[in-house]
Amino acid sequence: MLPSMPFIEGVGDELVYAVIFAAPVVFISRHYIRNTLDVLKGGAYIVQKWLGSAWNLIGHHLFSTEITTSAATSGGGEPMPHMNAPHENDCCSICHDTFILPCQANCAHWFCGECILRVWQHSSALQPCKCPICRRPITLLIPSDSVEQQTVVDSDRIMRDIAKYNRFFGGGPVSFLQRVQDMPLLLRRMVSELLDPQRALFLVHRTRIVLCLVLLMCYILSPLDILPESILGIIGLLDDLFVALIVLFYVAMLYRSTLLLQHGGHV
């Protein structure tokens, strides 16, 4: 009995059958595949943005430390301001003047405390105001650590109004998308406070944040994975990325609750 000839000379019939079976499956699920690729591209962009922010943060912190140390040892010049404050040459985008009691919104833009409160008071007082620059809802106002705020007239009233605003809208329901958009700012500020010995988070929150980061590093470096790299290659890194995103999201929300305790009175 003669052996059967393959459909295509030089190509095994198994490959032909696999292509015939896979073609309609890919065609039917092409929309899901496209959406999955879009999600992966968005996740890669967010990770790239976080890595760039972390790199800039570490470089800025090291540079600020060198400048501060040299100024302290030489006795000349002024140390650089803390990064949790607007740049010296910036101005409020509402009054177009120098900052007075500057506050940073959850979208990372800076405003005078009085100016952003007036924007809220002249809009719907039952809803959070929107950022005048990016139009994102402002659900958290973080006052600067600038020492000049003690000399501002009515500074106590402004700080009380900021705390009231945070109590109204900081602990309310926030969409998942907005929480993801707030993560870069929260992670930058969190790392800055962890690296600054003059600033201290609440001990309970600091312990939980450090513990989560240590466990994350242990999981990434551990050979035990849900998707082992030794078998799946680069695809095995997806579980590390997924776990890292979940841990960073949890840590960012934990730090947000710390900010609410500091600047709103309660979570």
CA 126/CA 149 separation, integer angstroms: 28
Answer with the residue of higher pLDDT: 41 or 177: 177
CA 142/CA 165 separation, integer angstroms: 11
pLDDT in tens, 35-83: 666 666 666 666 566 556 555 555 554 445 444 444 444 444 444 444 5
Where does the pLDDT of residue 236 fall: very low under 50, low under 70, confident under 90, or very high at 90 and above?
Answer: low
pLDDT in tens, 115-136: 999 999 888 778 889 999 998 9
pLDDT in tens, 195-216: 776 666 677 777 888 888 888 8
The pLDDT of residue 69 is 43
pLDDT in tens, 78-109: 444 445 778 878 899 999 988 888 999 999 89
Checking if the pLDDT of 11 tops 50, the result is yes
Domain layout of the chain by residue ranges: 1-80, 102-264
Neighbour-count burial for 89-116, b at 16+ CB within 10 Å, e otherwise: eeebeeeeeebbbbbbbbbbbbbbbbbb
CA 18/CA 28 separation, integer angstroms: 16
3-state SS, residue 75: coil
CA 229/CA 227 separation, integer angstroms: 6
The pLDDT of residue 110 is 92
Q: Average pLDDT for residues 136-140, to the nearest whole number?
A: 90
pTM over cut 0.85: no
The pLDDT of residue 67 is 42
